[in-house]
Amino acid sequence: MNIDLSSMPSTIDMFHLILTILALLCFILLLKKPKNISNTSPQIEEKIPEVEQAVIEKTVQLKEATPDAALQLLTLLQQDARFIDFVKEDLSTYSDADIGAAARVVHEGSQKTLETYFTLAAVRNEDEETRISLPKGFNAAEVRLTGNVVGEAPFNGTLIHKGWKVSEVKLPKIAEGHDTSIIAPAEVEL
């Protein structure tokens, strides 16, 4: 390979000058050795285990829920209210009157299931649409704030929904080996 030095430009324009300077800066930055964090701040390195431990201690431990109770509830709603049949049905071909009649069956059956297996109570006893005050330290699991939420408690607002909580669950016991994933067995008439 032969390089003809006579074809090299005798002057450098501004673009090539800037390009050369940028290339040199990049080359210098790549050659520069990175600083070791532990050498510059040993106090930070000592604090890291303490911070990690604090984070671990404050991490909420989530318990894994087994699907059996949820599947059992679906089974009961299907038995008493034909809930899954109603939800899975394509309602576009039915009149509003037909849908209303089916919804009445689902409503009555669902209500029966809830009353039989759960004891429900309102979270708040005040009438809906009344003004209430939430003191500092109120239970955020029981009350969800909506709207323009700023500042700290006490909060004053309008009760939109009383909320529901379960005080007792009375689901039937499940036999060992029962397949709870079968919500409703297929029916074959002979």
Per residue of the chain (190 residues), what is the pLDDT tens digit?
A: 555 555 555 566 666 666 667 666 666 666 665 555 445 455 555 556 666 666 666 666 777 778 899 999 999 999 999 999 999 999 999 999 999 999 999 999 999 999 999 999 999 999 999 999 999 999 999 999 999 999 999 999 999 999 999 999 999 999 999 999 999 999 999 9
Tell me which residue range forms the domain holding 163: 68-169
- Whether 89 is covered by a domain: the verdict is yes
- Predicted pLDDT of residue 51: 60
Of 66, 86, 83, nearest to 74 by C-alpha is 83
Distance of CA 157 to the CA centre of its chain: 26
- Whether 1 is covered by a domain: the verdict is no
- Whether 16 is covered by a domain: the verdict is no
- Predicted pLDDT of residue 26: 62
Token digits for 95?
């009149």
- Predicted pLDDT of residue 66: 81
Token digits for 74?
């679906």
Q: 117 with 170: CB under 8 angstroms?
A: yes
- Whether 145 is covered by a domain: the verdict is yes
- Whether 78 is covered by a domain: the verdict is yes
Total domains, the chain: 1
- Whether 93 is covered by a domain: the verdict is yes
Of 82, 152, 159, 174, nearest to 124 by C-alpha is 159
Token digits for 56?
């671990």
- Whether 51 is covered by a domain: the verdict is no
- Whether 175 is covered by a domain: the verdict is no
Strand partners, 93: none
Put simply, whether the predicted model's pTM sits higher than 0.85 gets the answer no
- Predicted pLDDT of residue 8: 55
- Predicted pLDDT of residue 107: 96
